[in-house]
Structure 1
Amino acid sequence: MDLTRTTLRLYFGKLVFGPGKADLLEAIDSEGSISAAGRRMGMSYKRAWSLVEEMNTCFETPLVESARGGAHGGGAHLTDAGRAVLADYRALVSILLTDGAARIAAIGARVGGAQAGGAQVEGSQAEGSRAEGDVAQQK
């Protein structure tokens, strides 16, 4: 069974942390700018900024620090906490793909009829506390 995509969404109270926010953190890290990261992901600056603010507010320490633009440039970067959250999230996705592959395949083998096809754990690779992996069926 071809496991080509993985989505892991973590729910912590009102915060949902999944592949979109992880990808945004990664884009900010590589672009050095919230605006450039948003453009790279095809989202508006306002949306990217809103997601950063949500993460910074919900986590104990901010994940992203930013400086206003202007004569001295501005920009944004991940804090140590931001790098740690991103690394931990990516590690969890990897564990789901490697350790969970056989169980996902076993579930997929029981799917029949028009629903049969290759299983995908949906998402990105590149509140209380609960984790949820969404398994979608590829048609």
Structure 2
Amino acid sequence: MTEPCSPRLRLRVLFGSDAMLGPGKADLLEAIRESGSISAAGRAMGMSYKRAWSLVEEMNAAFRAPLVESTRGGARGGGAHLSDLGLRVLKAYRGLEEDAARAGAARIAELQRLLRKG
């Protein structure tokens, strides 16, 4: 018998038809912030560098300025970091997650009570 897990609320924010920010992109931003590398962030999340770079390009194109700034490799090596806007976007998204979880806590608990018992 498996133990019940704590419910989590995962949000995806759609900004029209061509821009979206959700848990995967937010997790990628956090991993880039922590590792200083798009490649390392992708590896940590189990995705290819190509996929991680594609998501970064989507986010950079969607917002008014790049969220991730990168430098090419070379003698000193490359790297990536979140821009000031990237830090603001990540903070706003995580705050939205916290707000939604708090506001929906009673409904989430109600749904959990209605689950089939293992």
TM-score relative to the length of structure 1: 0.75
Shift in Å, 1:33 = 0.4
Distance in 2, Cα, partners of 1:117 & 1:88: 35
1:52 matched to which residue of 2?
56
Higher helix proportion = 2
SS in 2 for 1:8: coil
Equivalent residues of 2:7, 2:108 under 8 A apart: no
The count of residues paired between Structure 1 and Structure 2 equals 114
Determine which structure has greater relative contact order: mean sequence separation of CA pairs < 8 Å that are 6+ residues apart, divided by chain length.
Answer: 1
Does the Cα contact within 8 Å between 1:3 and 1:97 map onto a contact in 2? no
Aligned to 1:76, the other structure's residue is in SS state strand
Describe the SS at the equivalent of 2:65: coil
Q: Note if contact 1:38-1:45 (Cα within 8 Å) is conserved in structure 2.
A: yes
Q: SS of 1:66's equivalent?
A: strand
Decide which of 39, 42, 45 is 2:46's aligned counterpart: 42
Equivalent of 1:77 in 62, 76, 81: 81
Whichever residue aligns with residue 80 of structure 1, its letter is: D
Shift of 1:6: 1.7
Structure 2 spans left out of the alignment, 5+ residues: none
Aligned to 2:9: 6
- Coordinate RMSD, CA, aligned: 2.1
4+ residue stretches of structure 1 with deviation over 6 A?
Answer: none
Q: Tell me the amino acid that sits aligned with residue 10 of structure 1.
A: V
- Runs (5+) with no aligned partner, structure 1: 119-138
Question: Which residue identity is paired with 1:101?
Answer: A
